[in-house]
């Protein structure tokens, strides 16, 4: 493919962006040198590597890449027996560190079966050599004392010798006999030897070797004879140091030469991995994805964005070609986005063919082409005497010479720059020729003739870049299937052209063109209305779906809370039952103990104390069984003491009940609430006062000389539904029960509770035998949990 076509689509700018993501010079050159590939298998393989690099980066973080030099020349020289410099060894050390880090990073990845695996398998880390180089080399000019034991020993000897020389010279400086000859009281170095700065006129007073003179000539730098031998020793040691440094570097060079193949393999693998992860990083910044790739000429772009336009300003487009039609003619006003559509389609196709991901949404599809042929922009040249029209036609000729069934052709403003009638006819002829070649074609135009041509010709479709007539601004949306209007009159009027001129211009348009424009206008309004209806329908669908999900979540949350509360209630109930069992067992043990002490003189008092303790314990258990907060009754004071028969409100549950037994000393009383009977603290009750009946002004009516005012009717008689006969003898209890049943029958009560207690069971059995044969009893049963169980009998009257 002609690289001029790449430049028209600005592929070079994308590759420059890619190179900035690379870490070393070789990878940057590889990025800038990428060419679009027309082989489907290769394109799929390369884009797949990029996609897997992005996936690995997302899951495990992008590996770190260093800026490393090409070490192959260093290694080859070392293999030939050359000694490398410390700078070159540092580069090899960086390569080894990079290799180890990449190898270690890949080892942490769970899924190692990727298309990049072969590159990681080309990495040969050598931690031993890497650590030796890191320990030995400080920088490009110096080895560490840890490079070898011999080097450390030599340097220590040099240091000790230097200290001895300094001590000797320091004594001379401090000596009055010598100090007066010195220019300064300091020890300095010349040519690597320790010397003293002596005044020139006292040269003969300090015996030694002159090594240097100051710039003014007033100072001589003399090495005293007393330290000459020591300085010579240091020189010898420094020679030994250089020999040891050379030996160490030569040894490192030889070791690097021995693993030449591994180091070159490491370098090649690192640079290639750097390129693929650079592609992945670029894709991440563009929010790009891997499209479906084929070579059947089908392109589908969903919410595609031109990668060189500011992401905050770019308007995504939806584009398709290659299924129902293979030629697309895009119309619309200037600056409406037609050229951007062409560039987006062409550039994203080339990016895919370069192994890059594209900034589009899921469901996008790209076709691989042998040629991507482009004529976009004004290529006129003064030097070649080419006009705008000539430059376009020159480029179109090149395209016609190369176009075939494996080509994507992108033409901007086809036929423009000349007479509109001839230009439109020429444009139709060119499109027909390209269609005969079987190429995929996208072109832009303003000509009405091309719009009509697209309507009348099979396999050719119209498209338009939407223009908002209200605001007179383009929306940059691509509408496929609908031809666009140039809106020249509306734009001209908005820019201040006189209305009379606009009207006169409109009158010059032929009747056929006016009708065609009217049809297009009506289609555009219908399309906008349909889009608005679809938008509202989608909005309502989304709202209903969101509401459905919210209701489902609330329902699930409700069931979870319900189960949690039930489980909490079960646990609390189990705790209460366990506590009751423990307290009950304690009471039984206490009774057994009292039974054994029956003959004890203090038995009566102990029995009273035990009863009080039992009562206190039961009250405590009743309180624990009703753990609801008392805060609702805070501040309320009973207007009077409660008595049997009072109507009360249980504030914790907001239920009404009737006092069965007056409160005891601890404030606990029994209450009948519906069919349930419970013991509760008076602090949780509020008295419900009865309304006083209005006083009758009339005197009681007498009938037959007998006053009825003192007789209580069945409707007004108040009879308790509960009889407590605990402690009664069997015959007494039966008698009380029968009288109680008679009163209940008179009052119309049908459900009664007989409290006889458990005890020895004699009273209970007598009561139930009497109930079995009582003519007014329909049925009876023992109490259930909460009613008193076997200590009470529930009676239903006929």
Per-residue HEC secondary structure of 370-423 comes to CEEEEECCCCCECCCCECHHHHHHHHHHHHHHHCCCCEEEEECCCCCCCCHHHH
Average pLDDT score, the chain? 82
196 in Cβ contact with 169 (< 8 Å): yes
CATH for 3-126+259-285, options being 2.60.40, 1.10.287, 1.10.1420, 3.30.70: 1.10.1420
3-state DSSP call for residue 457?
coil
Give Cα separations from 455 to 133, 270, 318, 319, 450 (angstroms). 74, 55, 21, 19, 9
Nearest-5° Cα angle at 566, 560 to 572: 135
List pLDDT tens digits, range 541-595: 888 888 888 888 888 888 778 777 777 777 777 777 777 767 777 776 776 676 6
Residue 759 among known ligand-binding residues: no
Task: Give yes or no for residue 395 having a pLDDT over 80.
Answer: yes
Residue 727 assigned as binding residue: no
Q: In what order do the strands lie in the sheet with 193-199?
A: 188-190, 193-199, 219-224, 208-213
For the record, the structure tokens of 472 come out as: 């007179």
Supply the pLDDT for residue 632.
54
Q: For residue 417, which of 375, 478, 455, 465 has the smallest C-alpha distance?
A: 375
Give the CB-side neighbour count of residue 102, counting CA atoms within 13 A: 28
Taking 3-state DSSP, the helix, strand and coil percentages for the chain, each rounded to the nearest 5, stand at: 50, 15, 30
Query: Which architecture, in CATH terms, is 292-490?
Result: 3-Layer(aba) Sandwich (3.40)
Q: Rg (Cα) of the chain, in Å, rounded?
A: 53
pLDDT at 605: 64
CB atoms closer than 10 angstroms to residue 62: 16
332 is in an annotated binding site: yes
User: Are 340 and 476 a contacting pair, CB within 8 Å?
Assistant: yes
Q: Spell out the residues 6+ positions from residue 575 whose beta carbon is closer than 8 angstroms to its own.
A: none
Strands of 751-755's sheet, edge to edge? 722-724, 751-755, 792-797, 777-782
CA 646 vs CA 428, 488, 651, 667, 669: distances in Å: 103, 93, 15, 15, 12
Per CATH, the architecture of 626-690 is what?
Roll (2.30)
**pTM for the whole thing?**
0.60
Please name which of 119, 127, 143 lies closest in space to residue 46, comparing C-alpha atoms. Answer: 119
334 assigned ligand-binding residue:
yes
pLDDT bucket at 224, cuts 50 / 70 / 90: confident
The reply to whether 635 sits in an annotated binding site is no
Question: What pLDDT does residue 631 have?
Answer: 46
Residue 637, pLDDT score: 83
Whether residue 335 is annotated as binding a ligand: the answer is yes
471 is in an annotated binding site: no
pLDDT at 645 over 80: yes
Q: Please, is 201 exposed, middle or buried when counting C-beta atoms within 10 Å of its C-beta (0-12, 13-18, 19+)? A: exposed
Cβ(667)–Cβ(646) below 8 Å: no
User: What is the band of 714 on the pLDDT scale with cuts at 50, 70, 90?
Assistant: very low
What is the CATH code for 718-798? 3.30.1370.110
Choose between 153 and 505: higher pLDDT: 153
Q: Compute the residue count for the chain.
A: 798
Q: What is the pLDDT of residue 384?
A: 43
Percent over 70 (pLDDT), the chain = 81
Query: What are the tens digits of pLDDT across the range 12-62?
Result: 999 999 999 999 999 999 999 999 999 999 999 999 999 999 999 999 999
- Provide the CA 479 distance to its chain's centre, in angstroms: 34
Does residue 514 register a pLDDT over 60? no
Is 442 or 517 the better-scoring residue by pLDDT?
442
Q: Are the C-beta atoms of residues 770 and 737 closer than 8 Å to each other?
A: yes
pLDDT at 724: 87
CA 55 from centroid of its chain's CA atoms: 15
**DSSP bridge partners of 319:** 301
**Element holding 124 (H helix, E strand):** none
Per DSSP, 63 falls in state: P
Lowest mean pLDDT among 89-103, 159-173, 677-691: 677-691
């Amino acid at each position: 493919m002609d690289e001029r076509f790449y430049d028209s689509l600005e592929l070079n700018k994308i590759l420059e962006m890619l190179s900035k993501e690379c870490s070393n010079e070789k990878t940057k050159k590889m990025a800038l040198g990428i060419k679009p590939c027309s082989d489907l298998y290769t394109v799929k393989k390369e884009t797949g590597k990029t996609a897997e690099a992005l996936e690995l980066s997302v899951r495990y973080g992008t590996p770190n890449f260093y800026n490393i030099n090409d070490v192959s020349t260093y290694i080859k020289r070392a293999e030939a027996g050359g000694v490398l410099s410390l700078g070159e060894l540092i580069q090899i050390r960086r390569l080894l560190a990079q290799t180890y880090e990449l190898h270690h990073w890949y080892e942490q990845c769970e899924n190692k079966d990727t298309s990049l695996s072969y590159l990681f398998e080309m990495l040969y880390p050598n931690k031993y050599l890497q650590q030796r180089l890191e320990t030995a080399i400080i920088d490009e000019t110096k080895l560490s004392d840890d490079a070898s034991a011999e080097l450390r020993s030599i340097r220590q000897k040099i240091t000790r010798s230097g200290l001895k020389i300094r001590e000797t010279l320091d004594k001379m400086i401090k000596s009055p006999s010598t100090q007066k000859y010195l220019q300064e009281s300091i020890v300095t170095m010349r040519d690597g030897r320790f010397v003293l700065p002596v005044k020139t006129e006292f040269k003969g007073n300090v015996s030694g070797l002159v090594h240097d003179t100051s710039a003014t000539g007033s100072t001589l730098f003399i090495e005293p004879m007393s330290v000459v031998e020591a300085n010579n020793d240091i020189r010898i040691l420094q020679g030994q140091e250089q020999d040891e440094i050379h030996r160490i570097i030569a040894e490192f060079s030889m070791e690097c030469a021995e693993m030449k193949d591994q180091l070159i393999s490491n370098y090649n693998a690192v640079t290639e991995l750097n390129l693929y992860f650079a592609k992945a990083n670029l894709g991440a910044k563009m929010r790009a994805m891997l499209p479906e790739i084929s070579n059947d000429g089908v392109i589908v772009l969903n919410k595609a964005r031109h990668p060189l336009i500011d992401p905050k300003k770019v308007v995504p487009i939806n584009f398709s070609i290659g299924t129902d039609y293979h030629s697309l003619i895009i119309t619309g006003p200037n600056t409406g986005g037609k050229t951007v559509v062409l560039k987006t389609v062409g550039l994203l196709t080339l990016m895919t063919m370069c192994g890059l991901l594209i900034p589009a949404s899921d469901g996008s599809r790209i076709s691989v082409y042998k040629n991507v042929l482009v004529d976009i922009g004004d290529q006129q040249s003064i030097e070649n005497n080419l006009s705008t029209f000539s430059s376009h036609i020159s480029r179109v000729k090149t395209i016609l010479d190369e176009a075939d069934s494996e080509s994507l052709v992108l033409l901007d403003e086809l036929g423009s720059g000349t007479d509109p009638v001839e230009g439109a006819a020429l444009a139709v002829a060119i499109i027909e020729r390209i269609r005969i070649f079987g190429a995929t074609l996208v072109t832009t135009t303003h000509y009405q003739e091309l719009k009509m041509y697209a309507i009348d010709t099979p396999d050719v479709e119209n498209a338009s870049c939407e223009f908002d007539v209200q605001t007179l601004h383009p929306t940059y949306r691509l509408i496929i299937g609908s031809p666009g209007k140039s809106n020249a009159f509306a734009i001209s009027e908005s820019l201040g052209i006189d209305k009379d001129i606009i009207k006169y211009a409109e009158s010059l348009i032929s009747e056929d063109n006016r009708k065609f424009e009217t049809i297009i206008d009506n289609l555009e309004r219908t399309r906008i209305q349909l889009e608005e209806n679809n938008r509202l329908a989608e909005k309502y669908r989304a709202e209903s779906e969101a509401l459905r999900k919210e209701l489902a979540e609330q329902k699930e949350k409700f069931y979870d809370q319900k189960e949690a509360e039930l489980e909490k209630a079960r646990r609390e109930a189990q705790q209460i039952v366990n506590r009751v069992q423990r307290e009950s067992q304690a009471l039984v043990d206490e009774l057994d103990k009292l039974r054994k002490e029956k003959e004890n003189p203090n038995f009566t008092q102990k029995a009273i104390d035990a009863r009080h303790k039992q009562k206190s314990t039961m009250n405590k258990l009743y309180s624990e069984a009703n753990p609801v907060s008392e805060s609702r009754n805070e501040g309320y004071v009973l207007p009077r003491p409660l008595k049997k028969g009072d109507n009360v409100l249980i504030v914790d549950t907001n239920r009404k009940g009737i006092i069965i037994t007056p409160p005891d000393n601890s404030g606990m009383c029994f209450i009948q609430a519906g069919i349930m009977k419970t013991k509760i603290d008076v602090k949780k009750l509020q008295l419900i006062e009865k309304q006083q009946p209005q006083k009758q002004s009339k005197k009681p009516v007498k009938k037959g000389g007998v006053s009825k005012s003192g007789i209580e009717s069945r409707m007004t008689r108040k009879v308790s539904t509960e009889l407590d006969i605990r402690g009664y003898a069997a015959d007494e209890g039966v008698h009380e029960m029968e009288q109680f049943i008679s009163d209940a029958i008179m009052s119309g009560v049908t459900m009664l509770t007989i409290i006889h207690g458990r005890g020895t069971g004699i009273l209970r059995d007598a009561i139930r035998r009497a109930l079995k044969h009582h003519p007014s009893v329909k049925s009876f049963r023992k109490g259930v949990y909460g009613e008193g169980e076997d200590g009470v009998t529930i009676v239903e009257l006929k």
